[in-house]
Structure formats: structure tokens, C-alpha cells
Amino acid sequence: MSAITGARVTQPRPAAVVVLAAGEGKRMRSTTPKVLHHIAGRSLLEHVLAAVAPLGAQRQLVVVGHAREQVIAAIAGRAPDVSPVVQDTQGGTGHAVRVALQATAGIGPDELVVVVPGDTPLLTSATMSALVAAHIRAAAAATVLTAEVSDPSGYGRVIREPSGDVRAIVEQLDADPATAAIREINTGVYVFTAGPLIEALTSLTTDNAQGEEYLTDVVGALFAHRRAVAAYPLDDPGEALGVNDRIQLAAAGIVMRDRIVTAAMRAGVTVLDPSTTWIDVDVTVEADTTLLPNTFLHGRTRVAAAAVIGPDCTLTDTVVGAGATVSRTTAADSVIGPDCVVGPYTHLRPGTHIGRGVKIGSFVETKSAQIADGAKVPHLAYVGDAVIGERSNIGCGTIFANYDGIAKHRTVIGADVKIGSDTVLVAPVQVGDGAYTGAGSIITEDVVSGALAVREGRQRTIEGWVQRRRPGTAAARAASSRASTGDGAGADGPVPVADGPVPTADGPAPAAVTIAGSAGGGRRS
Ligand code: UD1
Ligand code: CA
């Protein structure tokens, strides 16, 4: 940051911050207004508002115009202290500031007005404070935040006097070749003293290449009236990046990512591949956590100390406890307890709360599920609208059938339960502490504590079926050779003929041979 920061403590609060956000942002080619496009979990406008908030201005005004309903709704939702001011037609940046000040009574002539574009998300609050301090020190009528850039195209050029004062700002479209070659550009961020600003705004014309009232012409008007206009150059010109198209949106997103990831590393987080680690501004990650490649931490996600996240994780508004390991997982609105192991290939949907030391394994999807300490859902399961008690184990392939086509129902599993592989738990249903279910069971009735619930059909084995019904296949040859070596079923003599219809390739077995329920026994013992 710049050297001029010392005056901040005694710095007066500006009377107003005016954020310009009425333009259409045509080059975005979007139905979403430009300032509502997001990087790092916030809209461009929210980033700008966050940068100016510490100035403590008495009023924060956002000039809205194009798609104003969307912008006003976004402001109301996320920044209720901010007042929108409508600019009906977009007559230029100078017109926008005039409209904002006309809508605002009671600003004294010596008070400060800060102007910022709504599309510069990389501005920092440190820079904003330093700019205000510089303005006060220079006792200027206006102070322009400038940047020295290698490619100034598209920006207004800053014309300085030999004294260093700013004489004018000339827009690219109005610049002659000598002016266009100047590499000090106008960032579009200014501090004005209100009296001279208001006066200069009355002198603006539309006599320029774009037929607009340029705010930049205020600078020339002030200079003509012998009012001092100072320039405050950015240490890091990258802060000035204005987002006008999707390419600049991506560029700003990358800068923001690098800032956030760098801050995380400084705070003790190991990041294996910073370029593929994306962390939103409101995320917290504690020290000694490791973030592996392709990790996206969104929203209000919080990761406690010494966790390992990634590779390939997308966690949104999710809390991860200390020492947890989460790999190849998508999670939203979920809580993962300390020392859990989640993934790979796991989907935790909203309302998943898992306790300490839980294992949630591959191809498991959860939703509205409370899974207590030490429980395990190791593989291939859907757990929806469920409570699972401590240390219970949910077998491979288990489905919590929660939806009857009209309503969702809950399944409650007690502690130390063993749910057999491929169980279907048809909610609403409860399984008591210490109970078991048999593999492949469909559980529609409550299972009391300590019981084994099974629902199994009797297995029917039809010997020689393959040789008869699938002659000439590899399976038939394999079966026959086993038979001829005396090593298989039916080794002695001819293949027995099945005593009834069997399933065929043409369709399911006739109902007569379907063996259902537990009639006739069939339990192994
Ligand atoms: C402006 C500056 C240019 C500077 C650049 C920095 C002017 C004339 N030019 O150019 O010197 O280098 O910013 O990024 O000021 N807006 C309104 N109402 C309007 C017109 C614009 O609210 O009538 C808003 C836009 O939504 C945008 C901001 O003002 O947020 C800047 O407008 P834009 O058209 O992007 O100006 P630039 O051409 O980038
Ligand atoms: Ca712009």
C-alpha cells in the first residue's frame, strides 16, 4: 500500500460515497447487469461497497439505471444501508454524479464526496483510505486515483502540469496520438470537495466523441478555475482493473483468487496448487489445513484446523471440523464433524450434519441427514431424511426410500445398528439400537432394538439350466467341462430336467415360479 496512510485516524468521514452503476455493460452480453456479475462469491458491486465501507461515509449512494430493478433488489438484499438513486437515461458519468447529488440534501461545501465506478472490484479499502488522506493533505478540490499501466487503451489519460497537478483527463476516443501515448490512466475513482464539484458539474457539456457528460471534464473545469487537482497513483495498478467484458471478469477473478489464496497461505494454510484453488471472500480456513488441487470453497464455508480438503472438492456454505479429510466431494449447507473421512465421490446435500469420526464413502449421497459420531456409510448409498445413531454401519447399496411420490418421510436408525447390504428402508420407519437387517431386505415396518429383520425369498437352484437353455455359449462349455472332469454340479450322468418353467431370455419368469416372502422357509441356519 501507499506511504500516505498515517492520517487515517483523524480522517473525517466523507459526506457521501457515490457508486456509479447505471450503465448497461453491453460488452458483457448478458441479461444480468454488469455490476451483478460475481467473482469470489460477491457481485462486482458488493466488492466495491466493501472497499468503501470502512470510509464510514454518511451516505452511500448507488446510481442505478439499466436493469435497475435487479440492481435495487440486490442492494436491498445484501447492502441495506445503501441508497439507490435512479438515473433515468445514462447521460454519462458526470450526469450520473449530478443526479446523485441533486437527490441528496445537506452536503456542506467543504465536505468530501467520493466517487467510484461499480465495476472495479479489485479496489481495496486501504487504497480508498489513503486516497482520502492524500486529498486532505493536498487541500485539493479533487484528487484522482491514477495508475501507470503498460497498456492504457480504453482508459482516460491523465494530463499533468509540470508542477504535478492534473490539468485534464482526456478520454481515449477524444485523444490525439500524443495524448493516447500517455500511460498514466484515470481509474475512475475520485475524492472531491463538494462545493467545487457541484459548481463544476454545472459546466459540463456533451461536446465530445461519446456525446455524454463526462465526469472527467470536471477536472479540466476545476483546473481552469485555478482549483488544485491532485493525482494519487496506485502502487499496484492492477487494483484499477475495470470489468467491461467476460475476459476482464475472468482476469479480475484470478487476481482476487490469488489475493485470497496468498492470504490463506500467509495464515498457515498449505495450498498445493494456488492456481486451481478458489476461495470466496467470506470463507475461513484455519491454520495447518491442506487444500489440494481443484478445490472450490464457496459462500460461508468454514474449515477448521488441520483438515485436508481435495482434490476436486466443491464445498458451499459447509462447515468442516478439525482434522477431517474430504476428497472429491460436493457439499452444500452441510456440517462435517472433526476427524471425519468423506469421499472420494461423495455428495452431501443441504441439511447433512455428520458428527465426529464419521466415514462417508464412495458414491454416497446424503440429504437432510443427521449422522452421529463414529457411524459409517462406506459405499454406494442414498441417505435422505434420516437420523443415524452412533457407531451404526450402513451396508453397501442401502437406500433410504424417503419419498412416496407426495411427501418425504423420515427414517430413524438407533445406535450400534448394522444395516445389511442392499437394504431398502421404506420411510417412515425406525430401527432400534443394536438391531440388524439382513442383506437385500426391504424394511417397511419398525425393527425393535436387538432384532434381526430379514425379508428374503427362498433361493431356487436349477441345475443344468445353462447347458439346456444356453447351448454353445462359453458359459455352457465352461459348465460342461467342469461336469466332464467330475468337478461340478451334475457331474454324474445326464443333466437333470428342471421341474418347472424357468426364466427365459424373452422375459421374466412366469409368476408361478416367483418365490417371494418367507413362506416355505429357505433361511440358512
Ligand atoms: C470511465 C472514465 C475513464 C476511466 C474509466 C476507468 C469517464 C468519462 N471516463 O470510462 O476516464 O479511465 O472509467 O474505468 O468517466 N455510468 C453511470 N451512468 C452513466 C454512465 C456510466 O452510472 O450515464 C457508470 C457505469 O455503469 C460504470 C461507470 O459509470 O460503472 C463508468 O462508466 P463506463 O462507461 O464504464 O466508463 P469508461 O468508458 O470505462
Ligand atoms: Ca468501465
- Residue 79's pLDDT band (cuts 50, 70, 90): confident
- For residues 162 and 170, give the distance between their C-alpha atoms in angstroms, rounded to a whole number: 17
Is 209 in contact with 92 (CB distance < 8 Å)? no
Query: DSSP 3-state assignment of 148?
Result: strand
Are 198 and 99 spatial neighbours (Cβ–Cβ below 8 Å)? no
Ligand nearest to the CA of 152: 1
Residues 42/49, Cβ–Cβ less than 8 Å: no
Q: What is the pLDDT of residue 515?
A: 27
The rounded Cα 109 to chain-centroid distance in angstroms is 44
Ligand 1 pocket: which of 48, 72, 93 to mutate (most atoms within 8 A of CB):
93
Judge whether 270 and 287 are in contact, CB under 8 Å.
Answer: no
**Cα distance between the two ends of the chain:** 78
Cell of 356: 465426529
Secondary structure string (H, E, C) spanning 64-107: EECEHHHHHHHHHHHCCCCEEEECCCCCCHHHHHHHHHHCCCCC
Q: Please tell me whether residue 200 adopts helix, strand or coil conformation.
A: helix
Q: Is 37 a catalytic residue?
A: no
What's the full length of the chain, in residues? 525
pLDDT for 485 equals 63
Distance of alpha carbon 518 from alpha carbon 522, whole angstroms = 7
Q: Which residue has the cell 494454510?
A: 269
Can you give the pTM of this predicted structure?
A: 0.87
**Ligand 2 centre from 173 Cα, in Å?**
14
Residues 6 or more apart in contact with residue 69 via CB below 8 angstroms: none
Render pLDDT for 108-125 as a digit per residue (tens, 0 to 9): 999 999 999 999 999 999
Cα(396)–Cα(42) distance, integer angstroms: 40
| Of 520 and 265, more confident | 265
Structure confidence by residue, pLDDT tens digits, 293-329: 999 999 999 999 999 999 999 999 999 999 999 999 9
Name which residue sits closest to atom 17 of ligand 1, judged by CA: 22
Q: Is the CB of 90 under 6 A from ligand 1?
A: yes
**What does DSSP say about strands 184-193 and 112-117: parallel, antiparallel, or unpaired?**
antiparallel
Give residue 300's identity as a one-letter amino acid code: R
Asked if residue 428 has a cis previous peptide bond (ω within 30° of 0), the answer is yes
Measured by CA distance, the residue closest to atom 39 of ligand 1 is: 155
How many Cβ atoms are within 10 Å of 124's Cβ, its own excluded?
Answer: 17
CA-wise closest residue to 243 among 13, 9, 42: 42
How many Å lie between the centroid of ligand 1 and the Cα of residue 145?
A: 14
- Does 155 sit in the ligand 1 pocket, CB within 6 Å? yes
User: Is pLDDT of 330 > 90?
Assistant: yes
Pick the residue whose CA is nearest to atom 1 on ligand 1.
188
What lies within 8 Å, CB to CB, of 116 at 6+ separation is: 17, 18, 19, 20, 48, 51, 52, 123, 128, 188, 189
pLDDT band at 504 (very low <50, low <70, confident <90, very high): very low
User: Angle formed by the axes of helices 93-102 and 216-224, to 10°?
Assistant: 80
Distances (CA, A) of 219 to 144, 200, 301: 9, 8, 45
**In the structure, what pLDDT confidence band is assigned to residue 24 with cuts at 50, 70 and 90?**
confident
The residue contributing the CA closest to ligand 1 atom 29 is 20
Q: What is the pLDDT of residue 135?
A: 98
- Ligand 1 atom with minimal separation from the 92 CA: 23
Taking the CA of 22 as reference, the closest ligand is 1
Number of other residues whose CB lies within 10 A of the CB of residue 303? 28
Residue 261 pLDDT: 98
Cα separation, 343 vs 348, in Å, equals 10
Is the C-beta atom of 213 inside 6 A of ligand 1? no
95 Cα nearest atom in ligand 1 = 23
How does pLDDT run across 244-302, given as a tens digit for each residue? 999 999 999 999 999 999 999 999 999 999 999 999 999 999 999 999 999 999 999 99
**Confidence bin at 492 (pLDDT 50/70/90):** very low
Ligand 1 pocket, residue 214 CB under 6 Å: yes
pLDDT of 161-182, one tens digit each?
999 999 999 999 999 999 999 9
d(CA 41, CA 234): 25
In one-letter notation, the amino acid at residue 385 is D
411 pLDDT band (50/70/90 cuts)?
very high
Closest CA to 132 of 122, 142, 121, 117: 142
Q: Is the CB of 186 under 6 A from ligand 1?
A: yes
Residue 95 Cβ inside 6 Å of ligand 1? The answer reads yes
Residues above pLDDT 70, as percent of the chain: 90
Write down the residue that cell numbers 447521460 correspond to: 91
Distance (Å, rounded) from C-alpha 427 to C-alpha 401?
A: 6
Query: Is 222 close to ligand 1, i.e. is its CB under 6 Å away?
Result: no
Mean pLDDT on 385-410 = 97
